[in-house]
């Protein structure tokens, strides 16, 4: 069929078990976020391009290569959101919510990046995420990480992931570290990728996050930040580690974690797995104390993470199949009306029920059996409740049904 339309490269349909996995991840995360006192927000899927271009960093992969940016019919430059944090901070400012801190935000929804599609990497993908805006203490960082850890536990995949934490320090620490990195990478400049030569001038820290194999080999031996931390930054980092331990969250320190976006300071972390090949990061985040101010708001510190739902969905066991609705089947045309009444009665009583729409009773019963329904109500001169698992049947009245089928 030459003119059959195809889904756009890098996009996926969520149907059947894929959908069940996806929504199981979202519902689990939503429930756990509530447990920690987070409320769900939804911000627009497209924003003024500057919401991202001004904040994510002009040398970040996302801004240089991955954004879906277009001009709309009114001539405005819009961008499909590549991540969740910038939009949440924009909403915090434009909604005047900086007056009522802390704000504890959970979100779930689609993100868009122009990347080479492969397993665990799509152009429309989906994230769950949280942002904790207001508090500047490492307790907030530890709580946000602990929330992520609990979600991974409840999804049954904590055993497959490892938490890597690092600090990016404060501005002074990073300036010190930057000098050390420039000295190191300048002495190996000829071996750097073209992208990283540019990064060396604009933002040398970004080289640590390079995916280029040649760069990676150099990064192995690059200096680490710890010796360059100010006393304040070191105290913050120690506070994070001791609070994580108090929360019972296991971690390893990993000086290579810098995160791909420019707005991070102090805490940076990733939950990584070996089970997904190259796409090993399932949940990632950090502290972004300057971001809200940089966007034109007051000075509001923040900490958060985002996690790829597709990657989490691949790691979890198939969620239990939902019980199928009770099948309400008229034994012949003259009982259609009564069957509809019973259908209503069951639904009013909070019992999932459906009817077969067409076909004779035998056909409908076959379909009900195939669908995996547990029960059928056969509506004729008598009403019978049929257990489809063992084939047994009992006489009932319409009035008895809700009680009989209720949990």
Binding residues (CB under 6 A) for ligand ATP: these are 83, 113, 115, 120-122, 125, 127, 260, 279, 281-282, 284, 306-308, 310-311
Alpha-carbon distance 223 to 131, whole Å? Answer: 31
The reply to whether omega before 205 is within 30° of 0 (cis) is no
Helices 336-348 and 398-405: crossing angle, nearest 10°? 40
Q: Which is nearer to ligand ATP, 193 or 369 (CB)?
A: 193
**Least distance between ligand ATP and beta carbon 79 (Å):** 15
- 150 vs 228, beta carbon nearer ligand ATP: 150
Candidates 221, 134, 216, 208; CA nearest to 174 is: 208
| N residues, the chain | 407
Beta carbon nearer to ligand ATP, 87 or 306? 306
Beta strands in 54-123 (DSSP E): 68-71, 77-80, 103-112
**Around 65, how many Cα atoms within 13 Å sit in the side-chain half-sphere?**
8
List the one residue out of 62, 249, 291 whose CA is nearest residue 164: 249
Give the nearest distance from C-beta 59 to ligand ATP in angstroms: 14
Distance of closest approach, residue 314 Cβ to ligand ATP, in angstroms: 10
| Alpha-carbon 257 to chain mean position | 20
The pair of structure tokens assigned to 233 is 């930054």
Nearer to ligand ATP, 79 or 127 (CB): 127
Compute the distance between CA of residue 117 and CA of residue 10 in angstroms, rounded to an integer.
5
Indicate the residue among 167 and 355 with the shorter CB distance to ligand ATP.
167
DSSP state of 222: S
Give the rounded distance of the alpha carbon of 218 from its chain centre: 32
Closest separation between CB of residue 280 and ligand ATP, Å? 8
- Alpha helices by DSSP H, 316-397: 336-348, 361-371
Rounded Cα distance between 255 and 272, Å, is 14
Cis before 102 (ω within 30):
yes
Six-digit token string for 67: 């954004």
Q: Which C-beta is closer to ligand ATP: that of 284 or that of 331?
A: 284
Closest CA to 289 of 274, 304, 302: 302
Rounded CA separation 165/193 (Å): 26
In angstroms, give the least distance from the CB of 96 to ligand ATP: 28
Please tell me whether residue 262 adopts helix, strand or coil conformation: coil
Q: Residue 332 has what DSSP assignment?
A: S
User: Which is closer to ligand ATP, CB of 153 or CB of 369?
Assistant: 153
Query: 29 vs 307, which CB is nearer to ligand ATP?
Result: 307
Which residue's beta carbon is nearest to the bound ligand ATP? 308
Whose Cβ is closer to ligand ATP: residue 118's or residue 344's? 118
Tell the smallest beta-carbon distance from residue 337 to ligand ATP (Å).
51
- Pairwise CA distance, residues 232 & 324, whole Å: 58
Of 228 and 287, nearer to ligand ATP (C-beta) is 287
> Can you tell me the distance from the alpha carbon of 362 to that of 30, in angstroms, rounded to the nearest whole number?
42
Supply the minimum distance, in Å, between the C-beta of residue 82 and ligand ATP: 8
CB of 74 to ligand ATP, least distance (A): 29
> Among residues 56 and 385, whose Cβ is nearest to ligand ATP?
56
Which residues are bridge partners to 115 per DSSP?
none
CB 255 within 8 A of CB 224: yes
């Amino acid at each position: 069929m030459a003119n059959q339309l195809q889904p756009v490269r890098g996009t996926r349909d969520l149907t059947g078990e894929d959908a069940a996995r996806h929504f199981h991840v979202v519902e689990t995360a939503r429930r756990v976020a509530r447990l920690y006192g987070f409320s769900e927000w939804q911000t627009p899927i497209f924003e003024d391009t500057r919401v991202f271009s001004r904040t994510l960093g002009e040398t970040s992969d996302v801004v240089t290569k991955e954004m879906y940016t277009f001009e709309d019919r009114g001539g405005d430059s819009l961008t499909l959101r590549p991540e969740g944090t910038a939009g949440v901070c924009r909403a915090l400012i434009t909604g005047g919510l900086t007056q009522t801190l802390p704000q504890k935000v959970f979100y779930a929804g689609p993100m868009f990046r122009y990347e080479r599609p492969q397993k665990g990497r799509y152009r429309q993908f989906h994230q769950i995420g949280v942002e904790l805006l207001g508090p500047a203490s490492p307790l907030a960082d530890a709580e946000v990480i602990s929330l992520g850890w609990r979600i991974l536990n409840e999804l049954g995949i904590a055993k497959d992931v490892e938490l890597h934490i690092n600090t990016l320090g404060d501005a002074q620490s990073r300036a010190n570290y930057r000098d050390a990195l420039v000295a190191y990478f300048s002495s190996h400049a000829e071996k750097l990728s073209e992208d990283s030569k540019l990064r060396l001038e604009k933002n040398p820290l970004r080289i640590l996050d390079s995916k280029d194999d040649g760069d990676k080999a150099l990064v192995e031996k690059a200096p680490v930040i710890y010796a360059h931390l100010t006393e304040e930054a070191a105290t913050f980092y120690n506070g994070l580690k001791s609070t994580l331990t108090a929360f019972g969250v296991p971690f390893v320190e990993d000086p290579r974690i810098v995160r791909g976006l420019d707005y991070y300071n102090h805490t940076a972390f990733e939950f990584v797995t070996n089970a997904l090949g190259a796409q090993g990061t399932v949940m990632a985040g950090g502290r972004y104390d300057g971001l809200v101010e940089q966007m034109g708001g007051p000075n509001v510190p923040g900490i958060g993470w985002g996690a790829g739902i597709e990657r989490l969905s691949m790691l979890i066991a198939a969620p239990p199949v939902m019980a199928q609705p009770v099948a309400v089947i008229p034994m012949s045309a003259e009982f259609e009306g009564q069957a509809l009444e019973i259908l209503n009665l069951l639904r009013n009583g909070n019992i999932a029920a459906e009817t077969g729409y067409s076909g004779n009773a035998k056909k409908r019963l076959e379909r009900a059996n195939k669908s995996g329904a547990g029960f059928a109500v056969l509506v004729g001169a008598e009403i019978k409740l049929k257990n489809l698992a063992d084939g047994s049947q009992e006489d009932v009245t319409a009035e008895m049904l809700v009680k009989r089928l209720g949990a």
